[in-house]
Amino acid sequence: TDHRELKGWPRISPQTMLDVLKGEYGDVVSEGYMVLDARWTAEYEGGHIEGAIHASSKETVRDALWHPDGRPKYGKQHVVVLHCEFSQVRAVAMKTELEELDEDSDYPSKYIL
């Protein structure tokens, strides 16, 4: 699969995500983390990563990370993880939307699962 569209966004493995959920990597996610799930509603409702937000639209992503006045809800070290079924199409599309929203680099620690 061609991942050039990821443009430098690092990927994390499912095992690393599981370790984060278990409380490991506390030094890396010391200001917290958020998983944005780009899967279809039925997929999300069928089961999702604990605490994941169903990011069904650009507005959902914006509302999850920014206050209505545009201020970020979290600090710069807050980690954002995007994922979908295979993290090749919908997560990449969400990545593009997040880049448009995050023009001030409020969230520099972004990953694709």
Residues known to be catalytic: 84
Q: What is the CATH number of domain 4-112?
A: 3.40.250.10
Tens-place pLDDT, residues 37-87:
999 999 999 999 999 999 988 999 999 999 999 999 999 999 999 998 776
Over residues 16-34, the mean pLDDT reads: 92
pLDDT digits (tens, 9 = 90+) for 80-110: 999 987 767 788 788 888 888 998 889 998 8
In the DSSP assignment, the letter for residue 66 is: B
What span, in angstroms and rounded, lies between the C-alpha atoms of 32 and 80? 9
pTM of the full structure = 0.86
48 and 38 Cβ atoms separated by less than 8 Å: no
Return the residue matching tokens 């984060």. 20
